[in-house]
Structure 1
Amino acid sequence: MIKHIVFFKLKDRSPESVAHTASVLRSMNGKIKEVLSLEVGIDMIRSERSFDISLTAVLENLEDLQAYQVHPVHQEIVQHINEVKDVSFAVDYEI
């Protein structure tokens, strides 16, 4: 299994903006068959070093991760993220 984790720091870090983008990310839930589980979290601490949002997805294997990356639903989300993010970091590892 593969765990895919992404952290997002937004240009607009207001609670409304963060909540909206978290909602956009959560809208993928159940729409991409390769994603076994999807969790989106909003940072509670809001320190300067904090990221605003995390996304954690679990997928069966690398092929499913690659299918997720190009899936039309994911690509719509990527368009939104590219408009609102300041920076993002990701890690993918085997579990």
Structure 2
Amino acid sequence: MIKHIVMWTLKEQAEGRDKAANAAEMKARLLALPAKLPLARELEVAIGEAVFASVPPTDIVLYSTFDSREDLQAYATHPLHLEVVDFIKKVVAERRVVDIEV
């Protein structure tokens, strides 16, 4: 199993919205993916600096699990996921990722 964790810091303003609105939009788009693209076994999204007090400045975190690296790669390169990535790239200032094989 692969645990895939992504942490983002968002731009204060992007795409005509503030950070909070873009975080909510990111969360909605990410949470919609498993229904359309069931490669992720589990997918959770959390928003809010208070939630992440122990990590570097982070506005939104994605936690997901996949059965294999191949499933993660198929998910990462799927056109539906890439549509969400296109939006995320426009609103993100910084991204950190860790994949853990268990």
User: In 2, Cα distance between the equivalents of 1:58 and 1:22?
Assistant: 17
Q: Deviations over 1:19-73 (max 9, x none)?
A: 22221222213221211111011124187x4211001110001111110111111
Once the 2 structures are TM-superposed, how far is the Cα of residue 6 of structure 1 from its aligned partner?
Answer: 0.2
Given the alignment, which residue of 52, 66, 80 partners 1:59?
66
- Aligned residue for 1:29, secondary structure, equals helix
Alignment of 1:22-61 (within 5 A): 22-45=27-50, 49-61=56-68
Instruction: Quote the sequence identity (%).
Output: 36
Determine if contact 1:36/1:59 at 8 Å carries over to the other structure.
yes
Q: Which amino acid aligns with 2:101?
A: E
Determine if contact 1:43/1:50 at 8 Å carries over to the other structure.
no
Q: What residue number does 2:15 align with?
A: none
TM-score (ref. length: structure 1) = 0.87
User: In 2, Cα distance between the equivalents of 1:45 and 1:83?
Assistant: 24
> Matched residue pairs, number?
94
Q: What residue number does 2:24 align with?
A: 19
Point out where structure 1 has 5 or more consecutive residues left out of the alignment. Answer: none
User: In 2, Cα distance between the equivalents of 1:60 and 1:14?
Assistant: 33
Point out where structure 2 has 5 or more consecutive residues left out of the alignment. Answer: 13-17
